[in-house]
Amino acid sequence: MKFETEPNKALQAPQSRRCEMRDVGHQTKELEMIPGLGFCVIYRARVPPDKEAAYVAAWSRLTALLRSEHGALGSRLHRGADSIWYAYAQWPSAQARTEAFAKAPIDAVDEQTVRACITEYFPEIQLEPIEDRLVPVGEIGVPNNAMQPTCEDARA
């Protein structure tokens, strides 16, 4: 699944950076990107209410294919209170994402459906993971694949 990005802007793996953070006790500690968390991106788009179901279905199938066939680490899709859709995607590296997107479309029909549902794109936000405190889905009693359709699911 390809999202609109700034043209001619090469993607580069995030560099490990250090910064300081003061905790509640006012002690300073150095922060550094956590190795192995990869490269993360937030995609944002506006989708009209009458196209949301088709968007979610196509996005879900494409995400499953990106994980199974192109090495993506997965993604989460959110609808904001501002009516903007946010997709948080994680890759082993910026290079892995670049290589995956350089390949032929994984599902041209679903990619076209996603594009047709979006009425406005916003610039992507590339993120450098520093801390990971999310509870893995499996630890809260929801199977990791509970919300992921299989590639054989019917198209909306």
Question: What is the chain's length?
Answer: 156
Tens of pLDDT, residues 51-88: 999 999 999 999 999 999 999 999 999 999 999 999 99
Q: Look at the chain and report how many structural domains it folds into.
A: 1
Average pLDDT over residues 28-40: 64
Q: Using 50, 70 and 90 to split pLDDT, how confident is the model at 154? A: very low
Q: Is residue 156 predicted with pLDDT exceeding 50?
A: no
Asked if residue 91 is part of any domain, the answer here is: yes
Asked if residue 151 is part of any domain, the answer here is: no
Asked if residue 81 is part of any domain, the answer here is: yes
CATH number of the structural domain spanning residue 46: 3.30.70.100
Asked if residue 49 is part of any domain, the answer here is: yes
Q: Are 71 and 96 in contact (CB under 8 A)?
A: yes
Q: Is residue 110 predicted with pLDDT exceeding 70?
A: yes
Q: What stretch of H or E contains 14?
A: none
Least confident segment among 45-49, 76-80, 125-129: 125-129
Asked if residue 18 is part of any domain, the answer here is: no
Q: Which residue has the tokens 């903007």?
A: 84
Q: Which domain holds residue 76?
A: 32-128
Asked if residue 72 is part of any domain, the answer here is: yes
User: ∠ CA 111-103-15 to the nearest 5 degrees?
Assistant: 100
Least confident segment among 37-41, 116-120, 148-152: 148-152
